[in-house]
Amino acid sequence: MKSMLLDLQNQKYITQDNENPNGDDVFRKKLLVDQMFKYFDADSNGLVDINELTQVIKQEELGKDLSDCTLYDLLKYDDFNSDKHLALEEFYRTFHIENKNLSETK
């Protein structure tokens, strides 16, 4: 499911003609995760909650996905501090973007 989300975000990214479309993979992955988080965080409060995930599932018709994994599993398995929200740092951990890579891509 996480790969599918990155692929969907990558398709949007490529069609938007953003700079550095063929840049290094770490930078690109961080950029895709940043954009995905911003899209998921509908109220721009820096946290993604179950209501925002529900909204994305409806908008992107992800409920029809054939995988056993859903966006709700992000909250279930990747909410590392168990506050029922996902912060950007948790998204980075979810998509395996290490802290050392963050400082290199800023």
Query: What is the pTM for the complete model shown?
Result: 0.74
pLDDT at 106: 47
- pLDDT tens digits, residue range 29-48? 888 899 999 999 999 999 99
What is the C-alpha to C-alpha distance for residues 31 and 24, in angstroms, rounded to an integer? 11
Domain with 43 in it = 2-105
CB neighbour class for 32 (10 Å; exposed up to 12, middle 13-18, buried from 19):
buried
pLDDT at 17: 47
- pLDDT tens digits, residue range 77-98? 999 999 999 999 999 999 888 7
pLDDT at 50: 93
- pLDDT tens digits, residue range 44-78? 999 999 999 999 888 887 766 556 778 888 888 99
CATH number at residue 9: 1.10.238.10
Count of domains observed in the chain: 1
Residue 12 has pLDDT above 80, yes or no: no
What is the C-alpha to C-alpha distance for residues 98 and 3, in angstroms, rounded to an integer? 17
Query: 105: pLDDT confidence band, cut at 50, 70 and 90?
Result: very low
